[in-house]
Structure 1
Amino acid sequence: MVRYDGRKMIVGIGVDLVEIGRITKAYERWGRRFLKRVYADVEIEKMPSSTVRRWEYLASRFSAKEAFLKALGTGIAHGLGLKDVWVVNEPSGRPRLSYSEDVGNILEAQGIKVAHISISHEKTMAISIVVLES
């Protein structure tokens, strides 16, 4: 439990690194079924049509979900899954995390006010870092 004394405080950090080829193989094996199990509808709708960009996009979103759940300290547990958190982009292109009501309730109970995210990818890897702040 976070003790709140009026100051901002980092209460969780999560990092995840994903091999882009792993996501490509999962999609090749399972197709849209894979997408529906892992990604929110808004993420699927915004998926790039360009093949190379698509894999980077999907891998970076996957790593963001994992990094968030690590920062929260639950991983995929307590009834939470990968579809409970998703990435949207602000008009500037900056990524922002959105999440289900269940996740929102957990964040509120833990005194978490802000979730910061940074995403990057290079050739064969995608990485995300999430910082949770009270």
Structure 2
Amino acid sequence: MMGIGIDLESISRVANWVKRYDRDTLSLVFTTREIDHCQSVSYPYQHYAVCFCAKEAVGKALGTGLADIGWNEIETAIDPSGLTIQLQGAAQRQAMINGVQHWLATWCCWDDYVLVHVLTY
């Protein structure tokens, strides 16, 4: 089954949220690898926003949202080749139920916004 998910988020909104919480609280939404990556780059809040948007977009592409999927069951990696998605737990089970074999995830940024687009097939 083919799925499409799109999400848009304000970088400054995510930045305000990230600044307010410690690492343990952030780990309720972001995986350890996502936090480590975001903290190691020149534009950490932009990368946090990409990870956040990707999780939302994946939930939409799976057709379930994040209602029955834990935030940490969707992990995003941002590298020079693009955006990769790794699933585990309920997210991985839902992808299998949907017959998802491939992901295409892209992102772009302009002004204070990040947009993530996810296609499953």
- Does the Cα contact within 8 Å between 1:26 and 1:34 map onto a contact in 2? no
Deviation, structure 1 residue 74? 0.8
5 Å-filtered alignment, 1:24-35, equals 24-35=15-26
Shift in Å, 1:123: 2.4
Q: Taking structure 2 as the reference length, what is the TM-score of the superposition? A: 0.89
Which consecutive unaligned segments of at least 5 residues does structure 2 have?
A: none
1:62 aligns with 2:70: no
User: Which deviates more from structure 2 when the two are superposed, residues 17-26 or residues 106-115?
Assistant: 106-115
Partners of 2:60 and 2:81 in 1: CA distance: 24
State how 1:4-83 maps to structure 2 within 5 Å.
11-49=2-40, 53-78=43-68, 80-83=69-72
Cα distance in 1 between the residues matched to 2:50 and 2:106:
10
Query: What are the residue-to-residue correspondences of 1:94-133 with 2, within 5 Å?
Result: 94-133=82-121
Q: Secondary structure of the residue that 2:12 maps to in structure 1?
A: helix
1:84 aligns with 2:77: no
Tell me the number of residue pairs that the alignment of Structure 1 and Structure 2 aligns. 121
Query: Where do 4+ consecutive residues of structure 1 move more than 4 Å?
Result: none
Cα displacement (A) at 1:84 = 1.1
Say if 1:30 and 1:114 are closer, same or farther in 2 by CA, change over 3 A: same
- 2:27 is aligned with what amino acid? K
Cα drift, residue 45 of structure 1: 1.6
SS in structure 1 at match of 2:66 = coil
**Percentage of pairs with the same residue:** 25
Normalised to the residue count of structure 1, the TM-score between the two structures is 0.81
Cα shift at 1:72: 0.7
Greater Rg, structure 1 or structure 2? 1
Per-residue CA distance 1:90-112 (angstroms, 9 max, x = gap): 5x432110011322222112211
Structure 1, unpaired ranges of 5+: 3-10
In structure 2, what residue type is equivalent to 1:14?
Answer: G
